[in-house]
Structure 1
Amino acid sequence: MNVETFRDVVEWTRALHEHLARCLKHCSTQQEEERAKWLLEYLADHEAALEKVVAGFEKKADPKALNTWLYDYIAYAPIKPHLSCSAPYAEMSFDEISQEIFDLHEQVIGFYRYLEGRAEIPETRELIGELLKLEQHEAMRLVHQTNRSKDL
């Protein structure tokens, strides 16, 4: 997918979360370690819910912001959604899965920070700012939930 407008950023993010949810769900059926299997199922559900929230941005965002072209993005190489499933989650440990997912979310957050610093109109700054807050909040929630499950 070519990311040329802020609408494309929203769609790219939605597609990333959707693909990740499907991949995690699929890998959970092949995971033998019980805690890791639970984690994959939890993360799959979380990513599916996040995909729906991100999809809502396209409906509620200012059309002016969505249709704004990105001029600088080529200097930044965003994560490609098809690469998010290149890791064999079914063969990874609980900690490895956690780290992989945390790293992926940090890359998305980094991409949003990059875009936020280059947004030229208030509408695009607001849109990217909202997406950034969402991703940061969800990343913190994932860290908190997975750390709690380690204590069990």
Structure 2
Amino acid sequence: MEIKTFRELIDWTRDLHQHLSECLSHCAETHKQERAQMLLEYLAAHEAELAKVVAEFEHQGDGKAMDTRVYDYLNHQPLETHRSCSRPYAEMSFDEISREVFSFHDQIMDLYKTLVSKADIPEAQDLLQALLDMEQHEAMRLARQVGRMDDV
């Protein structure tokens, strides 16, 4: 997907979370380890929830910011996700799954940090900062929950 505006960036982020949710859910059904299945199910639900939260940004975002062109300073490496589930999470260990999902979130946060620093208008900067804050908060929440599951 070619991202031209912040609205499209939000759509893209929502789609990434939704796709990850579907992939995790699908892999949970076939994983052989019960502990990893529970992790995959939790992560799938969390990613589906995040997709909904990100979608709300599009509805509540400032129109001026949403229509601002982003491609002028969207100079980053593409996120490395399992868009096709080419190495399904069903074949990964609990720790590998955790690392993979945290890496996914780190990449999104790094992208938002870069964009916040380059935003030309305050409305775009505020929108990006809100998205970054949400991703950081959710990553911390996810880390706490996964840490609790790891203790079990």
**TM-score, structure 1 normalization:** 0.95
Aligned residue for 2:83, secondary structure, equals helix
Aligned residue for 2:4, secondary structure, equals coil
The CA RMSD over aligned residues, in Å, is: 1.3
1:4-24 deviation digits (Å, cap 9, x = unpaired)? 111111001000001000000
Counterpart of 2:40 in structure 1 is 40
Counterpart of 1:119 in structure 2 is 119
Distance 1:102 1:35 in 2: 18
State the AA in 2 paired with 1:109. M
1:44-83 aligned within 5 A: 44-70=44-70, 71-73=72-74, 75-79=75-79, 83=83
What 5-or-longer segments of structure 2 have no aligned partner? Answer: none
State the AA in 1 paired with 2:100. E
Distance 1:86 1:57 in 2: 30
Which 4+ stretches in 1 moved above 4 angstroms? none
Distance 2:9 2:15 in 1: 10
Q: Is the 8 A contact 2:80 2:104 kept in 1?
A: no
**TM-score, structure 2 normalization:** 0.95
What 5-or-longer segments of structure 1 have no aligned partner? Answer: none
Aligned residue for 1:78, secondary structure, equals coil
Q: Is the 8 A contact 1:15 1:81 kept in 2?
A: no
Distance 1:19 1:7 in 2: 18
State the AA in 2 paired with 1:42. Y
Please report how far the alpha carbon of residue 82 of structure 1 lies from its aligned counterpart in structure 2 after TM superposition.
5.7
Distance 2:31 2:41 in 1: 10
Identity of aligned residues (%): 52
Please report how far the alpha carbon of residue 48 of structure 1 lies from its aligned counterpart in structure 2 after TM superposition.
0.3
Aligned length: 151
Aligned residue for 1:23, secondary structure, equals helix
